[in-house]
Structure 1
């Protein structure tokens, strides 16, 4: 019978604790030493994130104008569809009236 021995863990290190990147950089970056030296770690953000703690998205400023533009296009399409439907309705009514006059029917339209 063979038993496997787990690899030795360095003393004093608890790998279950969150890393600096998870806590300080909001899990959107890694902690690196500052360029000028010092003891405080700084965040190096992943692509698409910025800010001191990587908590701001690069495209966050685009979300409101983009949403308003899409909403405006949808409302514009609905208005155009309503106008076209009303025009077709009037056109059909006029066509029925002309056909009734041509055929001599007395149809209330």
Structure 2
């Protein structure tokens, strides 16, 4: 039985160490073999990050407008729910008043 050929890595680098991705790639990527056989480490960035050391977020410029949009939608839903609740309360009060006058009751509802 033959053993698979081991991957040849540049001398002095162990890409399986967790410190490589944590420190070199800002915890947003993993170390990869350099594309041009140089001794510098290359980072394979996770989804949403880019740059030489995975230091730039792809959606960083969207975070403030997105947060504000979500807050506006939540506040709008709460206000709409409050308006609907008040309208239903008025409708029920009017229905009770109409039933009371139909049946001859003279009470304030």
Count of residue correspondences:
94
Alignment partner, residue 88 of structure 2: 88
Alignment partner, residue 26 of structure 1: 26
Unpaired runs of at least 5, structure 1 = 1-12
Deviation at 1:70, TM superposition (A): 1.6
Alignment partner, residue 70 of structure 2: 70
Unpaired runs of at least 5, structure 2 = 1-11
Query: What is the TM-score normalised by the length of structure 1?
Result: 0.63
Separation of aligned partners in 1, 2:41 and 2:13: 22
Query: What is the TM-score normalised by the length of structure 2?
Result: 0.63
Deviation at 1:31, TM superposition (A): 6.4
User: 1:61/1:43 Cα in 2 relative to 1: closer, same or farther (>3 Å)?
Assistant: farther
CA contact (8 A) 1:29 1:54 kept: no
CA contact (8 A) 1:34 1:42 kept: no
Deviation string 1:33-55 (CA, Å, 9 cap, x unpaired) is 697xx87x364442432234211
* SS in structure 2 of the partner of residue 30 of structure 1: strand
Instruction: Tell which structure's C-alpha radius of gyration is larger.
Output: 1
